[in-house]
Amino acid sequence: MERSWYWRLLLVLGLMALAVYYSIPSGIYFFSDPDVRRDKVKLAEAIPDWLPKHRFNLGIDLQGGLHLVMGVDTDKAVQDRADRVADEIVESMQEKGVQLESCRRDGDVPEIHIVMKAASDWETLKKHLEYREDTWTVRSHFGNDVIFGMKPEYESTLRDDVVAQAQKTVRNRIDVFGVKEPEVRRRGANSILIQIAGLTAQDQEVIKNDIIGRTAQLEFKIVDETSDYFKQLASKPDKPASISLQDDGYEGKDGFVDRPFLEGTARDELKDFLAKYPPPTDRVVGIQEFKANPNAKPVFRTWLLDRRTPITGDALTDAFVAFDNEQNNYYVAMKFDRKGAVIFEKLTRENTKRKMAIVLDDVVDSAPIIQGPIPGGNAQITLGGYKSQQEIMADARALSVVLKAGALPAPLYPQEQRTVGATLGDDAVAKGKNALFFAGVLVVILMIFYYRGSGVAGAVALGSNLLFLFAALSAFDATLTLPGIAGLALTIGMAVDANIIQFERIREELRAGKTSRAALDSGFDKAFSAIFDANVTTFLAAVVLLQYGSGPIRGFATTLALGVVINTFTAVVVPKLLLDWYVRTMRPSHLSI
């Protein structure tokens, strides 16, 4: 035998051994009972520790799971950006000694209506507005009124960026939650497609409500303890009967503080009433849900807060669940970055003995009294609401996940939701396995019946093709879908097609009177170009499907592309290796083909 034959044999045997090593975990997973596949403990026990941790995963159509299409409220993101710009204009003018009559977003459009107290303030205001001339423009200026609007091209870019950022944030949150192989990608202009396989019903609810749907915009604001704003509202003649004036007394920095607030039994009614009488431009109103006892109906209390937000959740570097031994309860511990730690310490030092509201998604979570400066950049959110410890721990875990992954740039809302049942997935797996098995067996029988001894070599090449394909899917932690199984079946057909081209070429050479050895060499050489061209064109088609296809099509294209690449090697090298050994060692009078 030639030395090159032995090198090819060592290469094939080495690759097959490596493929077997990587394929075993996926084989155990794929061919196990459905209950074992869904039980992480049982699955871990079934796969020995000495095997690699890599394996392919079954897609949502094969093991059930969650399919969501979430819309991104880009209108809210644009409006929020306009609100922030309005706040910055107010703060900048105050620093320059200019007081504005009002500065608010005008309706739902990204325009800011600025009313100056004196027309002479225009030059000072104009200089500040010119800093934003790349993205904003002065639409009109008449007397003391100024309309400052967002440029259309900047608005379009902002909307696009918001959807891209929302997609990244959702992906980060799901990754932090620990879900394996989720699919999170953009669909259309303002939508995000989310597919997560293998979730329990409880995990699906957590993912939908607490992980994906939560905006998680965290803000720390100082409470206004001196304003009589709520007292003024309480005397309005159109105040609903369900809203009453209450007070909250506590020991403050300069003595006892009597903080008035409004309390209502209906959140929407309270919000509508507050919208009629907005607070001063440097203040905002926060609403907190409160229960007097576990069985009581919730009431909603108002807080008058400083509009300025010295520190937000953007400064967080970590958020995790911790346990308070004194209170015997769980809470969310947070840690700020270096800059945030300095700001937080300064904020707590300057406002000692005052209340600081922790605002999450525009809702006041709590408002503890600052007892003194808090160095080190540490803070915490205490959860409760008369829930059990297990429920509080689950809430704390979900909140820590979204805080760690970052706030969404805009709220999400469901556009489409489907739950694929595990039973349907199990049935699909069973049918897929049967289809793959019978397709392989039928092809092998036909190959051996038609090409005899050479058909055995083709069957071995086919088996090695599937083995290498399973190993590749496992090594890359790929997701196998039902269309992916169809791709495997098509790969079997592609492998057989390559063998047929080779064997027919060899038959032609034998009919021409060549010896078995010469016919083999010539047949394989002449068939290679046809096999290579066919595989290249199929591979390019698979690449196009991967680039532009949706989830099921991408699953099909993934296995097809891998199968074509592997088939180019196995269909040429493996049968030639076996037939070379047979002809050169056994020296048959004629080749069994």
Is there a single domain that holds both residue 326 and residue 222?
yes
Strand, coil or helix: what is 313? helix
Task: Return all residues near 162 (Cβ < 8 A) that are at least 6 apart.
Answer: 72, 74, 77, 409, 410
47 within some domain: yes
Structure tokens belonging to residue 561:
């592309």
Is there a single domain that holds both residue 258 and residue 379?
yes
Tell which of 98, 132, 154 closes a domain.
Answer: 154
Is there a single domain that holds both residue 148 and residue 223?
no
Tell which of 107, 133, 154 closes a domain.
Answer: 154
So what's the pLDDT on residue 411?
85
- Nearest Cα residue to 367 out of 306, 456, 282, 451: 306
Is there a single domain that holds both residue 222 and residue 122?
no
179 within some domain: no
Is there a single domain that holds both residue 384 and residue 503?
no
Is there a single domain that holds both residue 561 and residue 530?
yes
Cross-strand pairs, 105: 112
So what's the pLDDT on residue 551?
62
Is there a single domain that holds both residue 22 and residue 87?
no
Tell which of 415, 441, 464 closes a domain.
Answer: 415
Whole-model pTM: value is: 0.62
Structure tokens belonging to residue 517:
């050895």
Strands, E, within 46-190: which ranges? Answer: 57-58, 65-72, 100-105, 111-116, 136-142, 145-150, 183-187
Structure tokens belonging to residue 510:
């034998």
Q: 42-65 burial by CB neighbour count: b if 16+ within 10 A, else e?
A: ebeeebeeeeeeebbbbbbbbbbb
So what's the pLDDT on residue 386?
56
Structure tokens belonging to residue 190:
């303002």
Residue 583 has a CB neighbour count (10 Å cut-off) of 18
Per-residue pLDDT tens over the stretch 313-342: 878 888 888 888 877 778 888 888 888 899
193 within some domain: no
Q: Can you give the CATH number for the domain in which 139 is found?
A: 3.90.1070
Q: Can you give the CATH number for the domain in which 496 is found?
A: 1.20.1640.10
Nearest-Å Rg of the Cα atoms of the chain is 34
Q: Can you give the CATH number for the domain in which 249 is found?
A: 3.30.1360.200
Is there a single domain that holds both residue 271 and residue 408?
yes
Structure tokens belonging to residue 529:
């170009």
Burial of 27 (0-12, 13-18, 19+ CB in 10 A): middle
So what's the pLDDT on residue 229?
94
The span from the CA of 536 to the CA of 501, in Å, is 16
Is there a single domain that holds both residue 340 and residue 434?
no
- The number of helix segments (H) and strand segments (E) in the chain equals 17, 21
The span from the CA of 101 to the CA of 161, in Å, is 33
Q: What angle do CA 198, 204, 206 make, to 5 degrees?
A: 135
194 within some domain: no
State which residues form the domain around 441: 3-61+421-586
166 within some domain: no
Ordered alpha helix ranges (H), 196-302: 201-206, 229-234, 267-276
CB 500 within 8 Å of CB 462: no
Is there a single domain that holds both residue 281 and residue 343?
yes
Is there a single domain that holds both residue 239 and residue 381?
yes
Per the listing, tokens 């009972």 go with 33
Question: What's the Cα-to-Cα distance from 284 to each of 107, 279, 311, 369, rounded to whole Å?
Answer: 17, 6, 16, 19
Is there a single domain that holds both residue 291 and residue 333?
yes
Domain count, the chain: 3
DSSP state of 209: I
So what's the pLDDT on residue 385?
54
Q: Which residues of the chain have pLDDT under 50?
A: none
The two beta strands, 316-324 and 299-306, are: unpaired
